[in-house]
Amino acid sequence: MKRNHLVEDDIFKLVVESSPNGILITDKIGKILLVNKHLEKLFGYKYSELINKPVELLIPSKFKKNHKKYRDAFNNKPENRPMGADRNLFALHKSGTEFPVEIGLSHINTEIGFYILATVIDITERVKTDLALRESERTLQAIIDNTTDAILVYDKEGLITSFNKQADRVFNFKKGFINKVTDIIPPEYEFAFSTKLDEAIKGNQLHDFEMEKILPDGSRLSVSIGLVYVEIENGMYIETIRDITERVNLRNKIIDFEKAQIVSKMSEGIAHHMGTPLASMLLRIQMMKEDISELENSSDYIEKLNSVENQIFYGQKVMQRMLKFASKPTSEVSPVNIKSLLSEISEILKPICLKTQTAIFIKVKDNINVMGDSDMLELVFSDISMNAIDAMPGGGKLTINVSKDKSGNCKILFKDTGMGIPKQILPMVFEPFYSTKPAGKGTGLGLSVAKRIIQDHEGKIQIKSIEGKGTEVKISLPTQGEDK
């Protein structure tokens, strides 16, 4: 059966009325020719209030100005298109309120004319949901960005895809120097960290794993990390990084205090137990000197006995210092001339140097005094010198340079040509009871004691060493002023 007019077709009307969306049909100039019941309900109008009215009746004032331009463009190039998906569109209710919509446009060519079919969907709830979601995302992002923990997100290859503000403050990711998580992991932690990544993939979450991270300036930061793996896209790791510098420092202080207590007790015990044998040896040496003094050609023997006697005196002096160190009394501070102190130590060590074919050279650029306890400083300098001699069993050279640094402090540099210290154990040489010497050759107390004494003098001690080339020990002490 031939239809006389499209809008009068009963079947078409049935389809239009059954649509869950609002539908209206207009002519080329925007006159409304047909609306369905859903559109009436959507806009609050009756059918009779819309038919033959301009479509602008349903458009808010702020959009009416450009609507004719858009309609003419559609008429000139008609094509089916959605509207509102990529920009905010609003419709006008009879009550005067506006509501967000999504509109689809289609063109209909018939024998009697050109028509425009528009489908209108009220997206108020969708917009509310989107706004709530965006607000939730903004809230979550604000929380993430304002947390004190750094947060990283990276893929299975370690490529960092996201980070929070704290992470950028710590690692400067935005500058682009760091792209992969492995860029901030020290070499000695690489294997352990790789193991943790594998465990995370298996579903084992990581909590409070202590390690270090490399900062952009090359320094290291003590951190505690948490790690989870999530199955999104191709899989992502989420890592939280917490600065635990204060925790580590406090723990180290407690450990150092406990070690110092042990060192003090041991020093006290050694000093007391060695005091009696040394006194007995000294008495017998003095008796021997008296016994052989009347013999002919006794001068050579007496000279050797004098050397032994001096060494015993030195041993007693060391024991007295150890007792002093263990009891931790108020330091007997007075001006100490560094050149004189080193010369005295060099004289005491002469017999050992002759035996080991070791030469000691003292170079003093400035005649410097420091305020300190001469006994304690002598204990430090002599112990460092003995360490150097022990490191040169086949002979060598110990050079002691004394000068002032740029800050005016006294700088004492001990440099030997010995065996050096392996790189992997160098960080442990200041630990109590740690020794690089063979069993029975040392207590491991020397450098830990030296460090404490130098720190008590408000100074610093550092050590550098290259295995096979030698060791340098640098001590810095506040000066008392030049000796007049």
Contact (CB, 8 A) for 429 and 446: no
Cβ count within 10 A of residue 85 = 11
Confidence at residue 424, expressed as pLDDT on a 0 to 100 scale:
81
Which backbone phi and psi does 142 adopt, to 5 degrees? -65, -40
Using alpha carbons only, give the angle 451, 410, 220 rounded to the nearest 5 degrees: 50
- Residue found under tokens 């579903």: 203
Rounded Cα distance, 395 and 358, in Å: 5
Q: Return the percentage of the chain with pLDDT > 70, whole number.
A: 85
CATH T-level assignment (fold) for domain 330-484 = Heat Shock Protein 90 (3.30.565)
Q: Which of 43-47, 164-168, 277-281, 392-396 is predicted with the least confidence, judged by mean pLDDT?
A: 277-281
- Token pair belonging to 51: 């038919």
For the domain with range 6-127, which CATH number is right: 3.30.450.20, 3.90.1300.10, 3.40.50.300, 3.10.310.30?
Answer: 3.30.450.20
What is the dihedral sign for C-alpha 412, 416, 422, 425?
A: negative
- Token pair belonging to 453: 């004494």
Q: How confident is the model at residue 41 (pLDDT cuts 50, 70, 90)?
A: very high
User: Regarding predicted confidence, which is higher, 174 or 338?
Assistant: 338
Query: What distance lies between CA 484 and its chain's CA centroid?
Result: 49
Using alpha carbons only, give the angle 290, 278, 360 rounded to the nearest 5 degrees: 95
69-80 residue pLDDT tens: 888 888 888 777
Cβ contacts of 170 within 8 Å, gap of 6 or more? 150, 215, 221, 241, 243
Q: How confident is the model at residue 209 (pLDDT cuts 50, 70, 90)?
A: very high
Confidence at residue 332, expressed as pLDDT on a 0 to 100 scale:
67
Rounded Cα distance, 423 and 465, in Å: 8
Q: How confident is the model at residue 426 (pLDDT cuts 50, 70, 90)?
A: confident
Rounded Cα distance, 156 and 25, in Å: 54
**pLDDT (mean) for 174-194:** 88
Cβ count within 10 A of residue 323 = 16
Average pLDDT of the chain to the nearest whole number: 83
7 pLDDT exceeds 60?
no
Q: How confident is the model at residue 12 (pLDDT cuts 50, 70, 90)?
A: low
Cβ contacts of 362 within 8 Å, gap of 6 or more? 339, 342, 343, 346, 400, 402
Contact (CB, 8 A) for 434 and 376: no
24 pLDDT exceeds 50?
yes
Confidence at residue 484, expressed as pLDDT on a 0 to 100 scale:
41
Q: How confident is the model at residue 453 (pLDDT cuts 50, 70, 90)?
A: confident
**pLDDT (mean) for 52-70:** 88
- Residue found under tokens 């939280």: 240
**pLDDT (mean) for 122-149:** 84
443 pLDDT exceeds 50?
no
Confidence at residue 51, expressed as pLDDT on a 0 to 100 scale:
94
- SS3 for the chain is CCCCCHHHCHHHHHHHHCCCCEEEEECCCCEEEEECHHHHHHHCCCHHHHCCCEHHHHCCHHHHHHHHHHHHHHHHCCCCEEECCCCCCEEECCCCCEEEEEEEEEEEEECCEEEEEEEEEECHHHHHHHHHHHHHHHHHHHHHHHCCCEEEEEECCCEEEEECHHHHHHHCHHHCCCCEHHHHCCHHHHHHHHHHHHHHHCCCCEEEEEEEEECCCCCEEEEEEEEEEECCCCCEEEEEEEECHHHHHHHHHHHHHHHHHHHHHHHHHHHHHHHHHHHHHHHHHHHHHHHHCCCCCCHHHHHHHHHHHHHHHHHHHHHHHHHHHHHCCCCCCEEEEHHHHHHHHHHHCHHHHHHHCEEEEEEECCCEEEEECHHHHHHHHHHHHHHHHHCCCCCEEEEEEEEECCCCCEEEEEEECCCCCCCCCHHHCCCCCCCCCCCCCCCCCHHHHHHHHHHHCCCEEEEEEECCCEEEEEEEECEEEECC
Q: How confident is the model at residue 334 (pLDDT cuts 50, 70, 90)?
A: confident
User: Regarding predicted confidence, which is higher, 438 or 386?
Assistant: 386
Predicted structure pTM score: 0.45
Category of 185 on φ-ψ map: left (φ > 0), alpha (ψ -120 to 50) or beta: beta
330 pLDDT exceeds 60?
no
Confidence at residue 82, expressed as pLDDT on a 0 to 100 scale:
65
2 pLDDT exceeds 50?
no
**pLDDT (mean) for 146-161:** 89
User: Regarding predicted confidence, which is higher, 396 or 306?
Assistant: 396
User: Regarding predicted confidence, which is higher, 154 or 376?
Assistant: 154
Q: How confident is the model at residue 442 (pLDDT cuts 50, 70, 90)?
A: very low
User: Regarding predicted confidence, which is higher, 83 or 36?
Assistant: 36
User: Regarding predicted confidence, which is higher, 46 or 321?
Assistant: 46
5 pLDDT exceeds 50?
no
Contact (CB, 8 A) for 378 and 341: yes
Which backbone phi and psi does 144 adopt, to 5 degrees? -65, -45
454-482 residue pLDDT tens: 988 889 999 999 988 999 999 999 987 54
CATH T-level assignment (fold) for domain 147-243 = Beta-Lactamase (3.30.450)
Cβ count within 10 A of residue 11 = 8
Confidence at residue 113, expressed as pLDDT on a 0 to 100 scale:
80
234-278 residue pLDDT tens: 889 999 999 999 888 878 777 766 666 666 677 667 766 677 677
